[in-house]
Structure 1
Amino acid sequence: MMDNCHQSILSDYKPNRNSTEQNETISTMISSTTTDGKTFDLCEQENILTDQLEKCKVKDATHLSERIKRTYQRIDSYIREDRIEEAEQERKYLNELEQTQILHEQVVFQKSNRYQKNTLVENNRSDLKNLRDDLTDMPCCAEKMTMELLVYFHQRLLDEFIFLETSDSVIQKLGELKTQIQNEELFSEEIRTYFDDLNRNIYNEDCSSAVNMLNNILRKIRPLHLQEIQRLIEKMEKTAELIRNKDIVLLIGVTGCGKSTTVQFLAGAKMKETKVATVPGRFLDHIEMCEPIENPGLIHITTSPYCRSETRYVMPVTVPLQDIFGPDETGELIFCDTPGFGDTSGPEVDIANSAGVLEALKNCKSVKILALSSYKSSGDRGQGIQKLAQILVKMIDHIEDRLKSIMYAFTNYKLTTDIHAILHDLKNFKVNNDLVLRSDKSFVALLTDMINKTEHGAEIINPIGGDPKSLIAKVRSLDGIENPAKVFQFSFSESTQSTISNQIHRYKTNITSAVKRKNLDLLLYNLRNFKILKNLIKQNFIEDSYNDSIRSVNEKIDEYSKEINKDFDRCLISHDGFKEEDILKYKYFHNYIQQIQKLKDYLGSN
């Protein structure tokens, strides 16, 4: 047993990440100026880190934590053996390791911060381009005025030259927007709150918050971004041509389950574990590809440590089997990465996903399914697995007849996890005690298939140390689903369905308001978008709502015509005849009838 003296010595060797001495050392390494008076930039800090790693004889910075742990254990052992001189040497080495780890975390944070800033700039440029494209041919309305203000603040964020330079000019534009929203009968208490916050943002010159607040207003007056859906579907149509008449493997799973990482792994990419800094000293574990990227199909497959989808449309990656099994193999597999179904990226992605993926699959020769379930979304009673099963059941008609086409794989699980036992537990303790689940024959059949296929071991994906051969061989042996157009079906999430309903209500309100104010440009704009949405989603309730609006517009135009004709007849028999105001009214009506011909594609020939 150690005496009190040794216990005191041991406490001196405990790693202290917040010690003044260590922080001052690291601060000196990072912040001190070079001989020409310039501070160390990121590149120079990385060079210092490389030198420190070499000095500490550590090959990879990711091994620092383990090396520190082992060094502390050696110090502990030396002190217990009363080998104080060796313990002192290890203490010095431990200090070097800890200083190096702090420097490594500083470098990681700065690299992450720089990447996030670059990503933010690119996103701002992309948003600005889309805003300008969407504003083309848009009539004056609250939506347009909001988007024009968004253009202004995005330009400010990008330091672009802009005409509006004073906050007074922006406040004036904001007042005009508020009036326009009121005129279109769209104002609410929630929008009032947004305007209050927006005024504060402008006063504080907080352009980023102003963009967020304007987007909140835009979502209220335009719940569904139709142009974004069209952009996503257009991209899907391009990728659909790449898989036309092809046998494909479709990856299915919720957002964050690792579909993109799995595609990279199956395509033979070398993977590494990294850390992405969120704030100084706080990191998220992340797995990414090592460069160089040999398969060109992987260039556009991106991943993120955050629980959000980086994939916004179907992305096929062709994997030549000789790259996996050797030169004697022939043929290929086409793995298709997809957005998460019921995606967190918003209703636009959900709609484009449902409509676009279905359209892409219609022209495939056959489809195999690789269904992924992640430990991160599994829940304490298998909710993630249950959600995956429900996605598959909704997607594949008569799924109980297609089970030979489905392979299950599991991500972010420890290799020792007994997936088979988890599935058994889900069936025995949840499904069997839930009348609704138990009566869903398709769901029960799929869950039973999961249990059967994991009886002799589940496919737990290990991107860094694993080998894709086993999983690829199993996927290769699956039967493909032929005539996919007759088998696959997609439905929207409840939140997306609610957003669609809100947008339909907004179209109807806008159309009624445009007819009332005889604003034909705004009427045409809303009818056109309503018709696009109707043709895009193809749901009966949208068709019925659209037809109701068309009928209402025709009735209002007819009422207006009858009113003018009645006034005209009155003037004909009146002793006073036609007054100047009557003539102006008829001229306006004549022009109105001419302009209304623009609507004949929507309202009919009458």
Structure 2
Amino acid sequence: MMDNCHQSILSDYKPNRNSTEQNETISTMISSTTTDGKTFDLCEQENILTDQLEKCKVKDATHLSERIKRTYQRIDSYIREDRIEEAEQERKYLNELEQTQILHEQVVFQKSNRYQKNTLVENNRSDLKNLRDDLTDMPYCAEKMTMELLVYFHQRLLDEFIFLETSDSVIQKLGELKTQIQNEELFSEEIRTYFDDLNRNIYNEDCSSAVNMLNNILRKIRPLHLQEIQRLIEKMEKTAELIRNKDIVLLIGVTGCGKSTTVQFLAGAKMKETKVAIVPGRFLDHIEMCEPIKNPGLIHITTSPYCRSETRYVMPVTVPLHDIFGPDETGELIFCDTPGFGDTSGPEVDIANSAGVLEALKNCKSVKILALSSYKSSGDRGQGIQKLAQILVKMIDHIEDRLKSIMYAFTNYKLTTDIHAILHDLKNSKVNNDLALRSDKSFVALLTDMINKTEHGAEIINLIGGNPKSLIAKVRSLDGIENPAKVFQFSFSESTQSTISNQIYRYKKNITSAVKRKNLDLLLYNLRNFKILKNLIKQNFIEDSYNDSIRSVNEKIDEY
């Protein structure tokens, strides 16, 4: 008899009429639209959520899951003790909690959705402006025609007034582009496939997919977006002035290792764990600031739960030491957030990052390195740590002589994780069995340094409950790398190096084609861009290729 009663409460519990009406009211709020057509906007839903949290005596919505779990446990305990009335009261409270959690998830999803939509619109506007700027003074060619079509579809996405109003006129433009690509000897089977997909996109009026296909075509005929690199480096040059003749701390790590979040933490910001909805009911964990920004340097430091870099160029944040250690402390530390090296944002960011960071560091007084490794990118055999080590080795000349200037810190690891053991395992199981790695003296020296510096405990950053004092004190004790212009060097990913080679090949082919067709405008355009690339990257193989093209053009001119 009692077992049936227990089952009734835990599984087949039927709330009373008042409870049912109350839940129906909350459910109506959650649905965001009432039966009479009234819509609850996001602000109203947030107000309702606040009221519900207060009613449930829950301070923070992120605590709902734990509160629900504990309530289930109490119900079970009450039933075992035959305290049926208390169990029923707890079950009513459980209903309130569960309804509130659903409402919270909907609010989170709508806020994420709104943010993503706003970001998409901002990106489209930015892309459209850049396209128009890049088209200025560009000669008639396949690249220009592709970009003009991109302008059209970006305008469509932004609902801007446009002159090309029919799909027939767009199809005609597409046919002209295809012919031009063939004339410039750029056509391939892959591009043919893109055109087939593009025709379907246009037929279905799928402007977003059309933009993606046109960008795919553009990457084939112009592997490297030179103007975007210039824009990024120009922004870096502005921030470089902020660190001229300064002692700085440079944060280094792959995309997603938490550099931006760590800068916020080091600047004294209070952090909290939250969730970002990707689809209804599916969330990514994210750590963000939970109070108004006090340090003005943090205004432009943004973070994301996605594995992509939000930082596009060096961002210095000055941290007055009295903010961390108290009023008796003087001085400051300048922490520089950077994009992820070998960044997943593409070769343009990778090149601008390498070239721009190098230029920014040249005029610094000294540089200390805070190298970050994240559990999320570590891999099951320490691949992330190995990648971080390789980035540092490529970036810092004779790194074995600069180890006193480097500190290692670890993000998203459990505080109980034995980092020292992981590093030992990486050396024993991988490095010792790989002749190439074992022969790389700089890499082995760096990995050994990581092992030595974590022997008595690694610096695992606790962003939520931790205090930055200890980490900042250790960073202060590092020796700065002086004369950074002589120490830091370019470090491109293999894929970026491949893209540079493809672009050089494309320039040479375009120059040959322009000479053959006596197209002076196109010839000068490609020679000018080739020269800009040479001056930006300043590597011998690019200069040699450029000089070869100049000689070839001069020989053809002599023939004419």
> Normalised by the shorter chain, which TM-score bucket?
over 0.9
User: 2: distance between equivalents of 1:395 and 1:213?
Assistant: 35
Q: 1:169 to 1:19 in 2, by over 3 A?
A: farther
User: 2: distance between equivalents of 1:17 and 1:524?
Assistant: 81
1:290 deviates by 2.3
1:543 deviates by 1.5
1:439 deviates by 2.4
Q: Which residue of the partner structure matches residue 71 of structure 2?
A: 71
Over residues 478-516 of structure 1, what are the superposed CA-to-partner deviations in whole Å (9 max), with x where a residue is unaligned? 100101111111221110011011111111111111111
User: 1: distance between equivalents of 2:296 and 2:353?
Assistant: 24
Is the 1:22–1:95 contact (alpha carbons within 8 Å) kept by the matching residues of 2?
no
Over residues 526-562 of structure 1, what are the superposed CA-to-partner deviations in whole Å (9 max), with x where a residue is unaligned? 01001111111122221121122112212222222xx
SS of structure 2 residue aligned to 1:275: strand
Is the 2:253–2:373 contact (alpha carbons within 8 Å) kept by the matching residues of 1?
yes
Q: 1:416 to 1:540 in 2, by over 3 A?
A: same
1:434 deviates by 2.6
SS of structure 2 residue aligned to 1:284: strand
Q: 1:497 to 1:155 in 2, by over 3 A?
A: same
Over residues 199-232 of structure 1, what are the superposed CA-to-partner deviations in whole Å (9 max), with x where a residue is unaligned? 1111111111111111001000100000000001
SS of structure 2 residue aligned to 1:150: helix
C-alpha RMSD over aligned residues: 2.6
1:16 deviates by 18
1:446 deviates by 1.3
1:26 deviates by 5.2
SS of structure 2 residue aligned to 1:182: helix
1:128 deviates by 0.5
Over residues 2-33 of structure 1, what are the superposed CA-to-partner deviations in whole Å (9 max), with x where a residue is unaligned? 95663564334699999999997654223465
Bigger Rg, which one: 1
Is the 2:30–2:102 contact (alpha carbons within 8 Å) kept by the matching residues of 1?
no
Structure 1 residue 500 corresponds to structure 2 residue 495? no
User: 1: distance between equivalents of 2:366 and 2:177?
Assistant: 52
Question: Bigger CA drift: 431-440 or 490-499?
Answer: 431-440
SS of structure 1 residue aligned to 2:373: strand
User: 2: distance between equivalents of 1:142 and 1:24?
Assistant: 60
User: 2: distance between equivalents of 1:347 and 1:118?
Assistant: 26
SS of structure 1 residue aligned to 2:108: helix
Over residues 156-184 of structure 1, what are the superposed CA-to-partner deviations in whole Å (9 max), with x where a residue is unaligned? 11111111111111111111111111111
User: 1: distance between equivalents of 2:54 and 2:334?
Assistant: 43
Runs of 4+ aligned structure 1 residues displaced above 3 Å come to 1-27, 30-38
Is the 2:316–2:337 contact (alpha carbons within 8 Å) kept by the matching residues of 1?
yes
1:408 deviates by 0.7
User: 2: distance between equivalents of 1:395 and 1:138?
Assistant: 36
Is the 1:25–1:99 contact (alpha carbons within 8 Å) kept by the matching residues of 2?
no
Q: 1:17 to 1:278 in 2, by over 3 A?
A: farther
Question: Bigger CA drift: 106-115 or 50-59?
Answer: 50-59
User: 1: distance between equivalents of 2:18 and 2:396?
Assistant: 56
Q: What TM-score results when the alignment is normalised by the length of structure 1?
A: 0.89
User: 2: distance between equivalents of 1:24 and 1:197?
Assistant: 48
Is the 2:19–2:92 contact (alpha carbons within 8 Å) kept by the matching residues of 1?
no
Is the 2:9–2:87 contact (alpha carbons within 8 Å) kept by the matching residues of 1?
no
Is the 1:322–1:328 contact (alpha carbons within 8 Å) kept by the matching residues of 2?
yes
Is the 1:245–1:363 contact (alpha carbons within 8 Å) kept by the matching residues of 2?
yes
Over residues 321-359 of structure 1, what are the superposed CA-to-partner deviations in whole Å (9 max), with x where a residue is unaligned? 001001100000000001111110100011111111111
Is the 1:22–1:99 contact (alpha carbons within 8 Å) kept by the matching residues of 2?
no
SS of structure 2 residue aligned to 1:40: coil
Question: Bigger CA drift: 545-554 or 503-512?
Answer: 545-554
Q: 1:139 to 1:14 in 2, by over 3 A?
A: farther
User: 2: distance between equivalents of 1:480 and 1:109?
Assistant: 45
Q: What TM-score results when the alignment is normalised by the length of structure 2?
A: 0.96
User: 1: distance between equivalents of 2:37 and 2:432?
Assistant: 72
Over residues 389-440 of structure 1, what are the superposed CA-to-partner deviations in whole Å (9 max), with x where a residue is unaligned? 1111111111111111111100000111111221122222322233322222
Is the 1:13–1:75 contact (alpha carbons within 8 Å) kept by the matching residues of 2?
no
Unaligned 5+ runs, structure 2: none
User: 2: distance between equivalents of 1:16 and 1:452?
Assistant: 65
Is the 2:32–2:45 contact (alpha carbons within 8 Å) kept by the matching residues of 1?
no
User: 1: distance between equivalents of 2:402 and 2:419?
Assistant: 22
SS of structure 2 residue aligned to 1:160: coil
User: 2: distance between equivalents of 1:104 and 1:222?
Assistant: 46
Is the 1:14–1:72 contact (alpha carbons within 8 Å) kept by the matching residues of 2?
no
Q: 1:451 to 1:96 in 2, by over 3 A?
A: same
Is the 1:311–1:337 contact (alpha carbons within 8 Å) kept by the matching residues of 2?
yes
Is the 2:508–2:549 contact (alpha carbons within 8 Å) kept by the matching residues of 1?
yes
